[in-house]
Amino acid sequence: MTTLQESTTSGLAGVILKLTPGPDGGALAAGTDEAGNYEFKGLKPGTYTISINQPGFKSYAKTVTVNAGQATALDIRAELETVTEKS
């Protein structure tokens, strides 16, 4: 996971991603490391929704299909939420 800030792409650490539905029907969560990498292990083949709802960033959701015997890579570019002051 990366963000574009001042024309530079950088990794984001500590961002929580949710994957639904998880194996038990609930959501799975994974956090990003210093390089912005994350991983969900042991998923069964199927269709999942990966999402981010992190303060300071725009909400993100995408449907991803996991196939048997294949790793599925999804690069996400998080968009910073712009805050405007109202007077």
- 72 assigned to some structural domain: yes
The CATH number of whichever domain residue 27 belongs to comes to: 2.60.40.10
pLDDT for the residue 26: 83
- 43 assigned to some structural domain: yes
- 30 assigned to some structural domain: yes
Q: In what order do the strands lie in the sheet with 46-52?
A: 28-31, 16-20, 46-52, 60-66
- 9 assigned to some structural domain: yes
Mean pLDDT by 10 residues, the chain (87 residues): 54 88 83 90 90 89 91 86 71
Quote the percentage of the chain above a pLDDT of 70: 82
pLDDT for the residue 50: 94
- 25 assigned to some structural domain: yes
Q: Go through 34-54 and write b for each residue having 16 or more CB atoms within 10 A of its CB, e for each that does not.
A: eebebebeeeeeeebebbbeb
- 65 assigned to some structural domain: yes
Range of the domain at 70: 2-78
pLDDT for the residue 61: 94
pLDDT for the residue 7: 47
Number of domains in the chain: 1
- 86 assigned to some structural domain: no
Cα gap 43→58, rounded to integer Å: 26
pLDDT tens digits, one per residue of 56-80:
888 999 999 999 988 888 888 888 8
- 83 assigned to some structural domain: no
